[in-house]
Structure 1
Amino acid sequence: MKALAIIHAPFERPGVIEEWFQAKDHFLVQVHPYRGDILPTMEKFDSLIVMGGPQSPLEIEKAPYLRLEIQLIEHALKQNMPILGFCLGAQLIGEALGAKTERSPHKEVGVYPITLTAEGEADPIFENVQKTFQVIHWHNDMPGLTKTSKILAYSEGCPRQVIRYTEKALGFQCHPEITFQLAQELVDNCPDDLKPNQYVQSAEEFLEHNFQMINQTMIHILENFYKL
């Protein structure tokens, strides 16, 4: 398998997803539009992964290359290609389907649990995954919903944590993929986001969590997603 990963910041890389691809002898090609990379076409790829980043579809004029990404996602959706989106990536999948990004009820930064809905518990993507589990959060926005999308998981701070948009397109507002190394890079690059609040942890509290356990959940999800 050969997947294309769209990156939006040097500190928001695919993390454990890349490790999983390497362990499976799959290929993960990374492209960085924010620094001027040209998006390839999808003809030579089997899957699309759209990562998070500090950009927002609500301020797309500040990052006009996101419009090209939305067009690429539209093409991948028409090809019924497996698509995963994380945080900003989930919001861009929604945008490609005509669902406008919205502000989350609460800003979430840190490690907090999410809980599966009834539809999430029945969804094969969460086979071998507990009903409530810890993930990383780093967001102000949340993905929009289409008439047919299904919310698979929610948190106390955000009602849209995992969304199934189509049979092969999933959006994660949360981050199961971030490794401890990437968590440290986020802290170093975005210190202003870590001002403790109701759903915002301090840097010290954030980095104390068990990232390996969180990443193991991501591995279960990848195994389930790519066998469908």
Structure 2
Amino acid sequence: MTSVRILAIEHERGTGPQRFGEWLIEAGAEVVVARPYVGEVIPELGSFDALIVLGGSAGPTEDNENPWFPEVRHLLRRSIAGEFPSLNICLGGEMLAVAGDAPIWRRSHPQIGIYELGITSAGASDPVFGALAGGGPTGAGETEGESLPSVLFHQEEMALPPGAELLITGSDAPVQAFRLGEFAWGTQFHPETDAAQIARWLDGNDL
């Protein structure tokens, strides 16, 4: 039986898929990591079933320093249009927001640490994030009862793209997860990371 093939785009050293990669491999998927920052070519998506765009310290439009960024945003516009599913984390989520015509700005202070977030009513019925819902039904845009402790490690902040569904919110950067179209998901928080990776980020060893 042919396994699901997933392309993960890593933007800088130390920002790999971590737990996501392990979970996907355990589930029988093949995860191929492309590292354009060391000169690797981003493969054609035709031979892959899905895309993951990972985090990094750059802003989502810093194309001069990261010349592959326009190609990634083009892939994300294709995902928004429904060509293939994508999950886009932190910088990846910001790039998805830009691809969906949302503004991005630099915060005066970064968010670093564990923050209490909550799933919205739209998130409770979402095919990806619905599994995290804990409380009863709420009104549009309100959060479910159960809190969701989450890792935030970002300087940029994004608005909700036009037509997007807000799935997870909280803190003073309220757009924490959203979906554009049927198959493109973006997060500001880091669902993929683990304690060892965060320690390296804080030490500056992988940034």
TM normalised by structure 2 equals: 0.84
Question: 1:18-29, aligned counterparts within 5 Å?
Answer: 18-29=21-32
Question: What amino acid sits opposite 2:155 in the alignment?
Answer: N
| 1:89 positional shift | 0.2
Share of identical aligned residues, percent? 28
Specify the alignment match of 2:95 in structure 1: 92
Range moving further from structure 2, 47-56 or 28-37: 28-37
Specify the alignment match of 1:113 in structure 2: 116
Specify the alignment match of 2:164 in structure 1: 149
Structure 1 unaligned spans of 5+: 193-228
8 Å CA contact 1:95, 1:144 repeated in 2: no
Distance in 2 (CA, whole Å) between partners of 1:120 and 1:12 is 26
| 1:105 positional shift | 7.1
Distance 1:40 1:100, change over 3 A: farther
Distance in 1 (CA, whole Å) between partners of 2:107 and 2:42 is 29
**Matched residue count:** 192
8 Å CA contact 2:101, 2:162 repeated in 1: no
Distance 1:191 1:177, change over 3 A: closer
Distance in 1 (CA, whole Å) between partners of 2:42 and 2:186 is 20
Specify the alignment match of 1:14 in structure 2: 17
* CA RMSD after TM alignment: 2.1
C-alpha distance after superposition, 1:110-151 (max 9, x if no partner): 111111223223323233324311111110112343221011
| 1:191 positional shift | 9.7
Specify the alignment match of 1:182 in structure 2: 197
TM normalised by structure 1 equals: 0.76
Distance in 2 (CA, whole Å) between partners of 1:151 and 1:115 is 11
Structure 2 unaligned spans of 5+: 135-145
8 Å CA contact 1:113, 1:133 repeated in 2: yes
Question: What amino acid sits opposite 1:74 in the alignment?
Answer: R
Distance 1:191 1:167, change over 3 A: closer
Query: Of 57, 60, 70, which aligns to 1:57?
Result: 60
Relative to total residues, which structure has the larger strand share, 1 or 2?
2
8 Å CA contact 1:86, 1:173 repeated in 2: yes
